[in-house]
Amino acid sequence: MRAVTIRDNEIRVEQHPDPQPGKDEVLVRVRAAGLNGADMMQRRGLYPAPPGWPADIPGLEIAGEVLQNGPGASRFNPGDRVMAIVGGGGQAELATLHERMLMPVPQPLDWPQAGGFPEVFATAHDALFTQAGLQAGERLLVHGGAGGVGTAAIQLGVASGARVTATVRNPDNRDTVAQLGATVIEPDGFERHGPFDAILELVGAPNLGANVDALATTGRIVVIGIGAGAKAELNLAKLMYKRGRLMASTMRARPLEEKALMTRGLERHVLPLVEAGAIRVPVAETFGLDEAATAYERFAAGGKLGKLVLLP
């Protein structure tokens, strides 16, 4: 099979042996694979794949067709449209993974949308509801509202009955993000628009101090992105005064059991919203596998709205 391959921090497309499904695993022909910030970090050598996943093939989410079931796998049949989070190796023509990681592709999603769905909606759903415990009527602030996780978080927040505000730096994207149901503001001075009960931090350390300033009493900050930096000074006295909570989370290295539970949560709570047309997956641009290096450069340039997706 052909796959995106990281060599000396560069993106190439190389031949690799075809993977074979093991016990309880499924072989998937990948039709679409989304790009994420984690892929950019892996390219720089900062976010290696967990044990058991390809070390040199990036990609944390896939959509495609079941080709073959390994021994014991019976939940899906050959030809079924499926999508999933993977620990790595997604940006390839073929992928194998445990059947419990798979979920069906809702009818409204085409391949690019399905390939851009699993990672960002799983990340946003876990951060907002499992970590932050977001409730109807609360005020939610989403940083980086035009990105993949940002657009997912906005829609999930709105669907839950929260009042959502989003920071968007690129003026060209603000009207479209607002159509998802958020009040859109500039990143600079965002703390003046608080207080917020929950803040989803997708940018990183530079926002930390102002996040605490913007926090409501008993508010929660969940850090899931550090692209703009990982180290900042924090005034603990302010956090104590507000009885606030600061949390952080990654998903890639979680064990199979936790990821399977997250997948079942998406099936129960989010896929019905997709089927009903209440949730959509904005796709900024698609690229062929041979255009992978260009796709990575486009991601690094920023300013996009929605997902960049490879179509093997």
Cα 90 to Cα 4, 33, 35, 116, 199: the distances in Å are 9, 6, 10, 12, 30
- Both tokens assigned to 61: 């989410």
What's the token pair of residue 266?
């998406």
Residue with tokens 């850090």: 223
Residue 12's DSSP bridge partners are 5
pLDDT at 252: 86
How confident is the model at residue 282, as a pLDDT? Answer: 94
Q: What is the pLDDT of residue 81?
A: 98
> What six digits make up the tokens of 55?
């070390």
Sorted by sequence, the CB contacts under 8 Å of residue 241 that are 6+ apart come out as: none
pTM for this prediction: 0.93
Kind of pairing, strands 283-288 and 307-311? parallel
Cα distances from 4 to residues 46, 54, 223, 234, 309, in angstroms, run 18, 11, 29, 39, 13
- Give the per-residue pLDDT at 250: 87
**% residues pLDDT > 90 (the chain):** 90
| Residue in this structure with the two tokens 């929605």, named with its chain if needed | 306
Mean of pLDDT over the chain: 95
Report how far residue 43's alpha carbon sits from residue 5's, in angstroms, rounded to the nearest whole number: 9
Domains of the chain: 2-117+254-311 (3.90.180.10), 121-248 (3.40.50.720)
Residue 59: pLDDT band (50, 70, 90) is very high
> Are 124 and 61 a contacting pair, CB within 8 Å?
no
Under the banding of pLDDT at 50, 70 and 90, the label for residue 107 is very high
Residue 46's pLDDT band (cuts 50, 70, 90):
confident
Residue 304, pLDDT score: 87
- What gap in Å lies between CA 178 and CA 150, rounded to an integer? 12
pLDDT in tens, 243-300: 999 999 888 888 999 999 999 999 999 999 999 999 999 999 999 999 999 999 999 9
What distance in Å separates the CA atoms of residue 142 and residue 207, rounded to the nearest whole number? 12
